[in-house]
Every structure is written in C-alpha cells, then in structure tokens.
C-alpha cells in the first residue's frame, strides 16, 4: 500500500465515524464487525471530537480495503463521495449550507468553511483549494495538503459536490510538477437543480 498521511500527525475521529457509517450503510453491520476486529481498534477510537494519530485512520482504511478487496484509491474515492452525504446530514450541515447554494460559490468559500471547522477543532490540519481557472464548462483547482496519498479522496469529494449541487460531469486528477491539479469537466447543470 502506498504511504498515506504523515507519521506523528492526527486526524479527528469524525473521519472514522464517517468511514464506519459508510461501511454499515453499504456493506452491513456484520462486515463492519469483521473490519473492526481486523483494525484491533475499539469504540473509543470513534469519537467525533477527539483526535487520533493518522496511523489509526490508516488502520481503518487499510482494514476496509483488505476486507472488501478494493484498492485504496478506489476506496478513498468512494469515501469522498460518501463524505459529502455524511457531512450534509450531520451536525455540520449548517456550516455546509452556509458556504453556498451553488458549486462556484461553495468552492470560493471552501477554505473559509474549513477555517471555521479548525476553530472548533484546533488540532486539525486542513487542506486548501485554489481556483486556477474557471469557464462555464471547466474549473481547475489546485489542492494543497500537508498529507500525501489523499488525491483519490479529493476526487470523490469533488464528484460528490457536483452531484450535491445538481451538476453532471467528470473530475480528472493531474499531478503537475509535484502539485495536485483537479479539473472539473462541467456539463450543463441538471435542470432539476
Ligand atoms: C461540513 C463539511 C466539512 C467538514 C465539517 C470538514 C471537516 C474536516 C475535518 C475535521 C478534517 C480532518 C482534518 C484533521 O483532523 O487534520 C477534514 C479533512 C479534509 N477535508 Fe474537510 N470538511 C468538510 C467538507 C469538505 C469538502 C467539501 C472538501 C473538498 C471538496 C473537503 C476536503 C477535505 C480533505 C481533502 C481533507 C483531508 C485532509 C488533507 O487533505 O490534508 N472537506 N475536513
């Protein structure tokens, strides 16, 4: 498995509770119990407002991948999509909806939204997103993070966001000179949006 995250850093438990919720929803309680046993973790590692070493997060992701047979990048993409549904149905819904009611506004406010999360979760190391260019059919974003190995997660998040805002299209990832560029190919917003 490729190296994910950085040794010595921490990740808030809400990531673990979201991963648990994804497995329970998509694969059922019995599969979750198998995965939990493989991690060697217990319920105390699933407290939203506590933070845990990135190694713990890696154990959860690794155990899901091993049990389901999915490659880690595919799993992270699925998790990114799921996270949007999870966050918009959680206590963070209001933070999310306050950030915009269409994709362009939301992307403009994304860093500010994460900064307000960081005020409540001071140990968080949150990524930043910069819009490099935007035309009606295409948006290019630069993703910056202290962590490695999460580009699949970002891809899934962006697909999930497009879907949430009623847009059809695709997301392409391109590493350029060590930088992480994502291109959103945006077809016309679905009329139901
Ligand atoms: C209400 C919505 C959201 C909340 C409450 C939230 C909160 C968080 C939290 C607590 C972390 C863990 C940071 C840590 O513990 O060090 C995180 C990580 C992350 N978030 Fe968000 N987030 C939200 C939405 C989004 C959206 C919409 C995107 C992108 C489109 C995004 C991108 C990421 C990424 C990529 C990470 C992984 C960490 C990294 O790349 O370094 N988040 N977020």
What is the number of the ligand 1 atom nearest to the C-alpha of 158?
30
Ligand 1 atom showing the smallest separation from residue 9 Cα: 16
Residues 6+ apart with CB under 8 A from 84: 157, 160, 161, 163, 164
pLDDT digits (tens, 9 = 90+) for 125-155: 899 999 999 998 999 999 999 998 999 999 9
Q: Is 11 in the pocket of ligand 1 (CB under 6 A)?
A: yes
Nearest CA to ligand 1 atom 21: 114
Separation CA 123–CA 128 (nearest Å): 16
Atom of ligand 1 at shortest range from CA of 154: 35
Which of the residue ranges 29-33, 47-51, 56-60 has the most confident prediction, judged by mean pLDDT? Answer: 29-33
Whether pLDDT at 36 is above 50: yes
From the CA of 157, give the closest atom in ligand 1. 30
> What are the boundaries of each domain within the chain?
10-70, 87-189
Mean predicted confidence (pLDDT) in 61-76: 94
Q: Which of 56, 58, 86, 53 is nearest to 72 (CA)?
A: 58
CA of 157 to the centre of ligand 1 (A): 9
Residue pair 6/54 in contact (Cβ under 8 Å)? The answer is: yes
Residue 6 beta carbon below 6 angstroms from any ligand 1 atom: no
CATH architecture assigned to 87-189: Alpha-Beta Complex (3.90)
Distance CA 22, CA 160 (A): 14
Q: What is the pLDDT of residue 169?
A: 96
The pair of three-digit structure tokens given for residue 54, joined into one six-digit string: 């990135």
pTM of the model: 0.92
Ligand 1 in reach of 145 Cβ (< 6 A): yes
Instruction: Give the Å distance between the CA of 93 and the centre of ligand 1.
Output: 13
Contact by Cβ (8 Å): 74, 152: yes
Mean pLDDT score of the chain, rounded to an integer? 90
Tell me how far CA of residue 4 lies from CA of 50, 91, 150, 169, in angstroms: 20, 28, 7, 28
């Amino acid at each position: 498995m490729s190296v994910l995250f950085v040794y010595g850093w921490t990740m808030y438990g809400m990531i673990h509770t979201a991963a648990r919720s994804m497995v329970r929803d998509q694969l059922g309680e019995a599969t979750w119990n198998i995965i939990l046993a493989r991690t060697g973790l217990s319920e105390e590692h699933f407290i939203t407002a506590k933070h845990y070493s990135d190694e713990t997060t890696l154990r959860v992701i690794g155990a899901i991948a091993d049990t389901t047979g999915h490659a880690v990048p595919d799993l992270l993409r699925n998790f990114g999509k799921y996270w949007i549904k999870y966050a918009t149905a959680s206590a963070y819904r209001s933070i999310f909806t306050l950030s915009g009611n269409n994709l362009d506004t939301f992307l403009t406010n994304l860093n500010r939204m994460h900064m307000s999360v960081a005020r409540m979760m001071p140990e968080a190391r949150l990524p930043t997103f910069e819009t490099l260019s935007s035309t009606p059919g295409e948006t290019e974003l630069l993703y910056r993070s202290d962590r490695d190995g999460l580009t699949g997660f970002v891809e899934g998040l962006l697909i999930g966001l497009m879907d949430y805002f009623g847009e059809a299209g695709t997301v392409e990832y391109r590493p350029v000179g060590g930088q992480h560029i994502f291109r959103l190919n945006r077809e016309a917003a679905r009329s139901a949006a």
